């Protein structure tokens, strides 16, 4: 059993015994790995603080050819995710980790996906900006991850016939069909929602421009609409509602309650 070095993001840790843990890593070189870290909770170990959730680290792992757990030999911390003044930023980081888990299969390397997730986590770590930008950053990250995984929603044209859609009022968005639907293709479809023009334009802006999340100016109502669309789209894609997704939407609802 050969030992491999890899750059990794810690996306989950589960206790295995009083001193050991099963760690889920998303690595740049090998994709998602599940490994046993013996002695991870000991005061002095080969892992130190490198296995904290959302940390970036260099790991040495013995990869097994069978379906059993890999063995994590050591981990060296490169960057720790720090919770700053925004709880939403932490929820955003945990959501990125959940997306990495549900959108990928084990041992399927996706370098671009790793780089995108790591970049987002760096933005969210020790975040001290406005929560509005967290919402748009997370949606931008979701759209990029969907594109890389081959599940990007169709936003400009009809997901069924490919016809370009004109900006006229609201747009039918088919959760099971992969995006926008023209009037003709909308008939008889299930799980279709009506999306406002402003929300569609905001989603397009986030999908097409890497840094649009920094300057996109939309109302809380449009942010909430986009968040609800993404939550529902992922729920249909993976067959269940993601655990962290409701926390992202609840922060917008709580703000609305405080302001009313």
pLDDT at residue 2 in the model: 75
Distance CA 143, CA 93 (A): 15
Name residues whose C-beta falls within 8 Å of residue 109's C-beta, 6 or more positions apart in sequence: 27, 28, 29, 30, 31
Q: Determine the topology of domain 3-79 in CATH.
A: OB fold (Dihydrolipoamide Acetyltransferase, E2P) (2.40.50)
Nearest alpha-carbon partner for 76 in 87, 61, 98: 61
Could you tell me the residue ranges of all domains in the chain? 3-79, 130-259
Predicted structure pTM score: 0.93
Q: Tokens 């549900």 belong to which residue?
A: 102
Q: Is 27:57 a contact under the CB 8 Å cutoff?
A: no
Residue 166 has pLDDT above 90, yes or no: no
Average pLDDT over residues 125-133: 93
130-259 has which CATH code? Answer: 1.20.1440
Distance CA 93, CA 113 (A): 15
Q: Is 115:72 a contact under the CB 8 Å cutoff?
A: no
Q: Phi/psi at 232 (nearest 5 deg)?
A: -70, -40
Higher pLDDT, 42 or 156: 156
């Amino acid at each position: 059993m050969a030992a491999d070095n890899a750059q990794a993001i810690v996306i989950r840790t589960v206790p295995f015994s009083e001193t050991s843990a099963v760690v889920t890593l998303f690595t740049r070189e090998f994709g998602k790995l599940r490994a046993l870290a013996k002695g991870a909770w000991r005061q002095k170990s080969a892992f130190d603080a490198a296995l904290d959730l959302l940390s970036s680290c260099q790991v040495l792992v013995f990869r097994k050819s069978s379906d059993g757990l890999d063995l994590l030999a050591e981990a060296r911390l490169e960057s720790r995710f720090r919770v700053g003044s925004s709880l939403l930023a932490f929820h955003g980081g945990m959501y990125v980790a959940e997306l990495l888990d549900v959108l990928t299969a084990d041992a399927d390397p996706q370098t671009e996906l790793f780089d995108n997730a790591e970049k987002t986590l760096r933005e969210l770590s020790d975040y001290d900006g406005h929560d509005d930008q967290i919402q748009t950053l997370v949606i931008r990250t979701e759209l990029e991850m969907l594109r890389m995984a081959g599940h990007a929603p169709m936003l400009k044209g009809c997901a069924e016939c490919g016809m370009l859609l004109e900006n006229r009022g609201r747009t039918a968005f088919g959760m099971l069909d992969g995006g926008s639907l023209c009037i003709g293709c909308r008939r008889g479809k299930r799980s279709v929602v009506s999306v406002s023009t402003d929300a569609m334009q905001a989603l397009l802006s986030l999908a097409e421009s890497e840094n649009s999340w920094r300057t996109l100016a939309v109302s809380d109502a449009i942010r909430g609409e986009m968040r609800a669309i993404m939550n529902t789209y992922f729920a249909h894609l993976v067959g269940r509602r993601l655990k962290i997704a409701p926390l992202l939407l609840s922060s917008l609802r709580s703000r609305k309650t405080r302001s009313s």
